[in-house]
A and B are shown apart, each in its own frame.
Chain A
Amino acid sequence: MKGKSLIFAGASVALAIVMISCGNKQSTETPAANAPAANSAGKPVDPSTAGTVTGTIKLDGAAPKMKVINMAAEPSCNKQHTEPAMTEDVVTGPGGTLQNVIVYLKGDFSQYSFPPAAAPTTIDQKGCQYHPHVLALMTGAPLQVTNSDPTTHNIHPVPKNNREWNESQPPGATPINQSFAREEIAVPVKCNVHPWMKAYIGVLATPYFEVTGKDGSFTIKNVPPGTYTVSAWHELYGSSEQPVTIGPSESKSVNMTFKANAPAD
């Protein structure tokens, strides 16, 4: 009797371990019913009447000083930097232009359909930093993660509205392909092996977005005529919005400014 109990207990523990080991292989994620603003059965945007929204994002006030990242724990990355690696929370250019801002349009795009992304959006791990630091892609669009470092990374997005995943990527490994099913501004990404590594991925239901470059500018093309909200998101300063109305084939400029001392939303 005792022997049977022991066998049962052992089997239970083994079963628990097997169940746990399989537990993280989650089923395919389905998009939230209310998330997409686009309609897969809708019509394509007419390029002859589509307009453009351009603009520049700036920072009002002195940008906080970025911190030096101590990479002593990872010599293979440390020696890739001729100058000390710095954090990228706030990157400004001449005249206070603000880099790494996700600018996107909010509005009713339910009558339109958008073609799937032709190429995957790539994020690379190089010098124990993510390149780019901020990126954006459409829901369901392919995300490709590459590792250019001679060391192992784990890429670990921590979304609130999407499925969390955590995958390791040794040096020279094949790229990791993933996607996000639901809109989310923005998904923080981290590497637990190198805790200073941080990135943000904006996931949007339409192709009307861009991440600002060094000059803080953005250009959102092929926008159907209508009234929208231009929304800008920054990892430290949060969100800022401004309305815009685009007429047929019209191009509008929308400039926005974040206050340097404003807390994030």
Chain B
Amino acid sequence: MSTPPTAPPTNRNVHRFAVFTACCTFLLLIAGALVTSNDAGLSVPDWPLSYGSLTPPMVGGIFYEHGHRVIAACVGLLSIILAVWLWRVETRRWVRWLGVAAVGAVIAQGILGGITVLFFLPAPISAAHATLAQLFFCTVVSIAFFTSAWWQRQRPSVRDAGAPGIHALAQAAAIATLAQLVLGAAFRHKAFGIIPHLFGAVVVTGLIFWLAGVLKRRFADVPELRNCARVLHGLIGLQLLLGGAAWWSRSYSAQFPQPIPVMVTFTVVHTVTGALVLAATVLTALACYRLVGRSDAFAIRAGASGSSQPQQAAL
């Protein structure tokens, strides 16, 4: 099945570095979620320094807030290194610019974080900060995917004869998941109640089950897409359970004078699993674009060659 590459692959170390950056970004998401769950967002009143220094006393909520800032600074640095590295070694222009976009996103994210502190956590800004975090994570994960040997290897393309097309369905699932994360962030930052987030959960669950089902039925002989379906099924099931647990733990913790570990754990894990669901839908959509050709293109090719056998896709 495997065929020789048609373009010089990206430096393997760049890919490894992109994966490392994505892992660090995931840690950053956990740190950010810990800040919110521990109600520590304003424990450091100043920004960009913390208590006028780079090394404030790491007590109580300061541990979470300043820890989040330190990890964010590290991820920002990693993003800059990644972008410069891509710019130097990557032959695909759009991948180079994606690295630049990641740097832009991380800078914007830092500024949004500063606004949330200096303006006492305005709900729209806090929700935007949380949403941009997810988008940045997806961008870095995508860069890791695009620089992988798998992506750059020439793959046999398969045909999608069904309706709706797998590309549209995968896109819809990714967009709906992002919208659901926006609703979740808005609820978490008290912009509005739980109802829109619950409604979004129904829509996203339906779309992801639909997408996973279609992947299993139409592309049973494509192991990558079968695996995508498994991951999507697993993640959405886990996320639904975590959502219920997070809701219960929030209600339960209301009687306590401070955030309790069970609430912090469930809400943080639910938040970061949401990021994983979004990353999974984005990667699934990208894999679909990479592996599945458009039906009309196949029709033309099949007509020209007189065959309906799978064709070689371009990079």
Give me the interface of A with B, judged by CB distance under 8 Å.
13, 16-17, 20-21, 23-24, 67, 69-70, 73-74, 87, 151-152, 154, 156, 158, 164, 166-168, 170, 191-196, 198
Select from chain A the residue with minimum beta-carbon distance to B107.
A13
* Total interface residues in chain B, CB < 8 Å: 31
Smallest CB–CB gap between B56 and chain A, Å?
8
Which of A67, A167, A194 touches B60 (beta carbons < 8 Å)? Answer: A194
Select from chain B the residue with minimum beta-carbon distance to A86.
B257
Distance between Cα atoms of A65 and B146 in the complex (Å) = 58
Distance between Cα atoms of A152 and B115 in the complex (Å) = 23
Distance between Cα atoms of A198 and B39 in the complex (Å) = 13
Smallest CB–CB gap between B104 and chain A, Å?
9
Q: Does B258 contact A (CB under 8 A)?
A: yes
Distance between Cα atoms of A246 and B111 in the complex (Å) = 57
A166:B51 contact, CB within 8 angstroms: no
Distance between Cα atoms of A152 and B44 in the complex (Å) = 10
* B48, B51, B118 pick with most chain A CB within 10 angstroms: B118
Docked complex: B150-205 residues within 8 A CB-CB of A: none
Distance between Cα atoms of A119 and B111 in the complex (Å) = 41
B57:A151 contact, CB within 8 angstroms: yes
Distance between Cα atoms of A21 and B46 in the complex (Å) = 8
* A67, A154, A158 pick with most chain B CB within 10 angstroms: A154
Distance between Cα atoms of A17 and B108 in the complex (Å) = 10
A87:B51 contact, CB within 8 angstroms: no
Identify 26 residue pairs between A and B in the complex whose beta-carbon atoms are under 8 Å apart, listed by A's number.
Answer: A13-B107, A13-B111, A20-B115, A21-B48, A21-B114, A23-B119, A24-B118, A24-B119, A24-B120, A67-B257, A70-B258, A73-B59, A87-B257, A151-B57, A151-B59, A154-B43, A156-B42, A167-B45, A170-B51, A192-B61, A193-B60, A194-B60, A195-B60, A195-B61, A195-B258, A196-B257
Docked complex: B100-127 residues within 8 A CB-CB of A: 107, 111, 114-115, 118-120
Q: Does B256 contact A (CB under 8 A)?
A: yes
Q: Does B262 contact A (CB under 8 A)?
A: no
Residues of B within 8 A of A158 (CB): 120
**Beyond A17-B114, A156-B42, 5 additional pairs, beta carbon < 8 A:** A13-B111, A21-B114, A154-B42, A170-B57, A192-B40
Residues of A within 8 A of B107 (CB): 13
Q: Does B236 contact A (CB under 8 A)?
A: no
Smallest CB–CB gap between A134 and chain B, Å?
16
Residues of A within 8 A of B43 (CB): 154, 191-193
Give me the interface of B with A, judged by CB distance under 8 Å.
38-48, 51, 56-57, 59-62, 65, 107, 111, 114-115, 118-120, 255-259
B51:A74 contact, CB within 8 angstroms: no
Which of A17, A152, A164 touches B62 (beta carbons < 8 Å)? Answer: A152
B38:A195 contact, CB within 8 angstroms: yes
Residues of A within 8 A of B115 (CB): 20, 23
Distance between Cα atoms of A154 and B45 in the complex (Å) = 7
Smallest CB–CB gap between A89 and chain B, Å?
8
Smallest CB–CB gap between A118 and chain B, Å?
30
* B38, B47, B120, B258 pick with most chain A CB within 10 angstroms: B258
A193:B114 contact, CB within 8 angstroms: no
Given A193-B62, A195-B38, A195-B61, also A69-B257 (CB < 8 A) = yes
Residues of B within 8 A of A73 (CB): 59-60
Residues of B within 8 A of A168 (CB): 44-46, 51
- Which are the 5 A-B pairs with shortest beta-carbon distances? A192-B43, A193-B60, A196-B258, A24-B118, A196-B257
A16:B111 contact, CB within 8 angstroms: yes
Residues of B within 8 A of A70 (CB): 258
Distance between Cα atoms of A196 and B111 in the complex (Å) = 29
Smallest CB–CB gap between B190 and chain A, Å?
12
Which of A20, A87, A152 touches B118 (beta carbons < 8 Å)? Answer: A20
Residues of B within 8 A of A170 (CB): 51, 57
